[in-house]
Amino acid sequence: MSAARRMMVAGNWKMNGNTASMTELQAMMDGVGDTPAVDVLICPPFPLIGRFSGASEGRGIGIGAQDCHFNKSGAHTGDVSAALLADVGAKAVIVGHSERRADHTEVDDLVQAKAQAALDAGLTAIVCVGETEAERDAGEAEAVVLAQLSGSLPASGVEHVVVAYEPVWAIGTGRVPSIEDITTMHAAIRRAVVDHYGDAGNGVRLLYGGSVKPGNAAEIFAIEDVDGGLIGGASLKADDFLGIVNAGIAQV
């Protein structure tokens, strides 16, 4: 982490949770307190966003979404606009997650348009990038990630852009790149973000995602250009998630 950037710990609930999960959210809010030293975000499935936002008003956890459409409104059955997400209380939206790139063939141009729509709606855009195992084995990890970045980052709005590096092979597998590999990749991402935005790129938070757990969060968060994490499985249970949030707070 760096003293210049505020740490962020974001939970991506993916297609998990239901109305009963409010109990888990409450436990998380109680554990985090109302003024945590890091930004804490939970991104539940769309139908829970309004309810969760209402319950978290004035508390220390913000609510985000996992996707949005790039248009403000219109004939797009099944889609949700960034403007509506903001209207129901979301503060952020994840765009370009590898599961959406794979399941919905989302390409960089589309991810960029979604990120721009998020910014236009006043949301933080968490732009995800990451290589597959085959790409890493072929020695192409950095090239793939930098190409995704240059295609997916919006042109402006840098203050509200967050980048999440999530190696696809580390997601939900319990496998994590070495500290050295994360350090190298985040440094390369930092250089690319500064190339893209100029000096302001030094203020962009770079999250690591992929099998972050309470037991490994501290050493990952200690890396210079890691400004927090995007957490999947370990964000579903308050105990695990709070352990990771506390590892973030310990860096401050």
- Supply angle C-alpha 214, 220, 221, rounded to 5: 90
Stretch of residues binding ligand 13P (CB under 6 A), selected from 56-64, 77-85, 141-149, 164-172: 164-172
Nearest to 67 by CA among 139, 140, 131, 15: 15
Nearer Cβ to ligand 13P (83/85): 85
Marked catalytic residue, from 69, 97, 160, 186? 97
d(CA 24, CA 232): 15
Q: Is 224 a catalytic residue?
A: no
Q: Which of 117, 123, 189, 231 binds ligand 13P (CB under 6 A)?
A: 231
- Asked whether position 251 contacts ligand 13P by CB under 6 A, the answer is no
Q: With contact defined as beta carbons under 8 Å apart, do 162 and 125 qualify?
A: yes
- Asked whether position 233 contacts ligand 13P by CB under 6 A, the answer is yes
- Asked whether position 168 contacts ligand 13P by CB under 6 A, the answer is no
Q: Is 196 a catalytic residue?
A: no
d(CA 120, CA 17): 29
Q: Which residue is nearest to ligand 13P (CB)?
A: 232
- Asked whether position 211 contacts ligand 13P by CB under 6 A, the answer is yes
Nearer Cβ to ligand 13P (172/198): 172
Q: Which of 12, 56, 124, 148 binds ligand 13P (CB under 6 A)?
A: 12
Nearer Cβ to ligand 13P (12/21): 12
Nearest to 166 by CA among 66, 247, 52, 68: 66
Marked catalytic residue, from 24, 131, 166, 186? 166
For the beta carbon of residue 30, count every other beta carbon within 10 angstroms. Answer: 13
- Asked whether position 96 contacts ligand 13P by CB under 6 A, the answer is no
d(CA 122, CA 104): 25
- Strand locations in 37-185, DSSP E? 39-43, 61-65, 92-95, 124-129, 161-165
d(CA 145, CA 166): 10
Q: Which residues bind ligand 13P (CB under 6 A)?
A: 12, 97, 166, 171-172, 209-212, 230-234
User: Catalytic residue positions?
Assistant: 97, 166
